[in-house]
Amino acid sequence: MKPFVVLITTPNRKVSERLSKDLVGKKLAACVNRVPNLSSRYWWEGKVQTAQEELLIAKTHQGRLKALIQWVGDHHPYQVCEVLALPVAAGHRPYLDWIKKSLGTVQKNKGR
């Protein structure tokens, strides 16, 4: 399974803690790092906005990616939340194997 790093911004620690706990608990991500005190500047409703946010960095694989993106979209407080998935081109093989092992494989429904 191809590994991915997923970037997710959140409004505060409380949201970051809830999302990261559930992403790992539901095996949508093998690991989530929380980066506090992020200053974000962006366009919103025709104006440049500035906000203090946090950044979550989730490690997952291709088999969990679609479900992770959907789950975050369904549980995030922002109307338009940042969820960006970046494919991992290379990495320390034991760590990449650990991601795969931690998340297992996706069971596909087989037709009868």
Whole-model pTM? 0.91
Cα 97 versus chain centre, distance: 18
Percent of the chain with pLDDT over 90: 91
The predicted pLDDT at position 112 comes to 36
40-69 pLDDT, tens digit per residue, is 999 999 999 999 999 999 999 999 999 999
The predicted pLDDT at position 1 comes to 87
Q: Which two tokens stand for residue 91?
A: 């990495």
CATH tag, 3-103: 3.30.70.120
Strands of 11-94 (E only): list them: 31-44, 47-61, 83-87
Using CB atoms within 10 Å of the CB of residue 65, give its burial: 0 to 12 exposed, 13 to 18 middle, 19+ buried.
buried
Domain edges within the chain = 3-103
Cβ 19 vs Cβ 112: under 8 Å: no
Percent of the chain with pLDDT over 70: 93
